[in-house]
Amino acid sequence: MLTQLRVLCAMSLLATCASLAAQDAPAKKDLTPQQQRMSTCNTQATGKQGDDRKTFMSSCLKGEQPAKTTQQQKMTSCNKDASAKSLKGDARKAFMSTCLKG
Q: Is residue 95 part of a domain?
A: yes
Q: Is residue 42 part of a domain?
A: no
* Low-confidence residues in the chain, pLDDT < 50: none
**pLDDT at residue 91, rounded to an integer:** 94
Q: Is residue 73 part of a domain?
A: yes
Q: Is residue 87 part of a domain?
A: yes
Instruction: Give the CA angle between residues 9, 13, 15 to the nearest 5°.
Output: 115
Q: Which domain holds residue 99?
A: 68-102
**pLDDT at residue 2, rounded to an integer:** 62
Q: Is residue 44 part of a domain?
A: no
Alpha helices in 26-66 (DSSP H): 33-44, 50-62
Report the domain count for the chain: 1
**pLDDT at residue 7, rounded to an integer:** 62
**pLDDT at residue 78, rounded to an integer:** 92
Q: Is residue 85 part of a domain?
A: yes
